[in-house]
Chains A and B, each alone.
Chain A
């Protein structure tokens, strides 16, 4: 509908705003950005610098930096078998949560694509864990894992299997924490992938169906490739989340038994805050390692993501 008599909208760029003058609008822009920038500088920018600063300093018993030690904390970490184990545990935990978490959610949403009755109800049921916080999910699983009164060992005893120390046996502890994590993230994963499936154009699926594709064939040739970007987004987010996991470890195992669930983040916490340790220097060095690991993972994944987008 042409609105001819009015001052016709200029083609291309919008007319330059002039009210209050150019400087006035520039000033307004900065004024609008200022609150956010202040928060970022105080609580992200400055702490980044201070973390690096602290990592180069020894500290007294109360955590105040005492003298410059250069890269000593980092060389100590490199030579420490304990820290090597911490990194290994972090990697294993990431693998144990990301791969089954993403794959499991994918299987669930694909199953739901089979013209199931009551899809909406089922989808909501799968999204339920999303309402759980890290703390609430962890304490519920702590009740399950309880060696004496927990449901898990109760069910095992029905089939004649002995009680398992889910959180106290170093063979099972990390897996138990990972299972808790997978469960609490499942709702999020299902929501993201369902949204992705919902945005696949119906004609494509319909065309494939008319060509006789169904079930596995449809999933393999159409749905999964079309979900590519969503799967990748989910993998990136899950990896970063896994690397940052803290609450479930703090609640379920406190890094134990005997360090079996001590991940990088938990190690930072222990050095800085647990048992009145206040070893901020060493903790900060580990925090820098964490920062580098997370950034590297994100960068690598985004590199791959970019290539995927080009292919699509």
Chain B
């Protein structure tokens, strides 16, 4: 502990006075590290165990007391999970649904945000109020009529049923509007002088200049769509139309409820989201906090 502190101080001479050398400060620092260590183990353990358990032998997983480290790595759980539920099909369902929702929300939000920022609109405040109001309505409170509507249209247990209610978003429009507003007004004037109409200006200038915001929105929408639970649970009926999230539940509820199979399913379902979180964290933070700075 002592060496750590002195090294830090050497690197940053300005903080020497502050970090202090009194036993009390050293004790404080030790406490900070200890607390962080405990927290990291607590938070990361479920992640570790999900991955380790997915590769453990069934006998090891059900041993008592349970093993924490796999003694031999096996791929049997993955094979078992694929046998129990139509995993590939459900993976595809999740990917198709989430991609369709993301592309559609990007498109509708870009258009709406453009209208709010660059086009004349008499009832602007009222219409924007409507867009914001949609953010306040909890989806669970209106899920029954939506279920009835889509069933009436014969779209229960179909991709359209999974996707249709989520093709537009007040949040996406709001976020892109904030971003579009940062563009200098002269850009539109210059484009007009060059003879560019709104459509061209939108796709050639506005969209390329707002790539970070669009990336943030895409990641955010894709993650939420991929992770949806309530709606896919009630709108799908057959295993072949279920998304991966619902498939995980059926793994848990299945006859065997083998922990190895469940964890293997979890690990597979995590691959895309983990990749997005690791590589897109910068964008995610931007998207998450867009609402915090209105």
| A residues at B contact (CB < 8 Å) | 7, 9, 14-17, 19-20, 22, 25-26, 28-30, 32-33, 35-40, 42-44, 46-48, 50-51, 54, 63, 107-108, 111-112, 114-117, 122, 124-137, 139-144, 146, 148-151, 154-155, 157-158, 183, 186-188, 191-192, 194-196, 209, 212, 214-215, 229-230, 233, 237, 240, 243-244, 246-247, 250-251, 265, 268-269, 272-273, 280, 283-284, 287-288, 290-291, 294-295, 298
Q: Is the CB of A22 within 8 A of B43?
A: no
Q: Is the CB of B46 within 8 A of A42?
A: no
Identify which of A32, A46, A131, A251 contacts B111 (C-beta below 8 A).
A32
Give the CA-CA distance A273 to B140 in the complex, in Å: 13
Q: Is the CB of A29 within 8 A of B121?
A: yes
B248 at interface (Cβ–Cβ under 8 A)? yes
A227 to chain B, nearest CB (A): 11
With both beta carbons as reference points, the residue of chain A lying nearest to B260 in the complex is identified as A143
Taking CB atoms, residues of chain A closer than 8 Å to B12 are 115
A203 to chain B, nearest CB (A): 13
Q: Is the CB of A141 within 8 A of B227?
A: no
Give the CA-CA distance A121 to B12 in the complex, in Å: 20
Chain B, interface size category, equals: 35 or more
Q: Is the CB of B285 within 8 A of A144?
A: no
Q: Is the CB of A141 within 8 A of B192?
A: no
Taking CB atoms, residues of chain A closer than 8 Å to B288 are 188, 191-192, 195
B63 to chain A, nearest CB (A): 8
A171 to chain B, nearest CB (A): 22
Identify which of B130, B139, B148 contacts A280 (C-beta below 8 A).
B148
Q: Is the CB of A25 within 8 A of B144?
A: no
With both beta carbons as reference points, the residue of chain B lying nearest to A40 in the complex is identified as B134
A286 to chain B, nearest CB (A): 9
Q: Is the CB of B138 within 8 A of A139?
A: no
A118 to chain B, nearest CB (A): 10
Q: Is the CB of B229 within 8 A of A134?
A: yes
Interface SS of A by simple majority: helix
Identify which of B17, B141, B189, B278 contacts A9 (C-beta below 8 A).
B189
Known A54-B145, A128-B44; contact A151-B108, beta-carbon cutoff 8 A? no
Q: Is the CB of A22 within 8 A of B149?
A: no
Other A-B contacts than A9-B185, A28-B198, 17 sampled, CB-CB below 8 A, are A35-B108, A36-B108, A37-B130, A44-B137, A46-B149, A108-B36, A108-B39, A127-B277, A129-B46, A134-B229, A149-B61, A191-B288, A214-B18, A246-B230, A268-B143, A280-B144, A291-B137
Taking CB atoms, residues of chain A closer than 8 Å to B36 are 108, 111-112, 116, 122
Q: Is the CB of B140 within 8 A of A51?
A: no
With both beta carbons as reference points, the residue of chain B lying nearest to A14 in the complex is identified as B185
B210 at interface (Cβ–Cβ under 8 A)? no
Q: Is the CB of A146 within 8 A of B259?
A: yes
A-B CB contact pairs (8 Å), 8 listed: A19-B192, A35-B112, A36-B111, A43-B149, A47-B142, A133-B245, A140-B46, A229-B292
Q: Is the CB of A44 within 8 A of B142?
A: yes
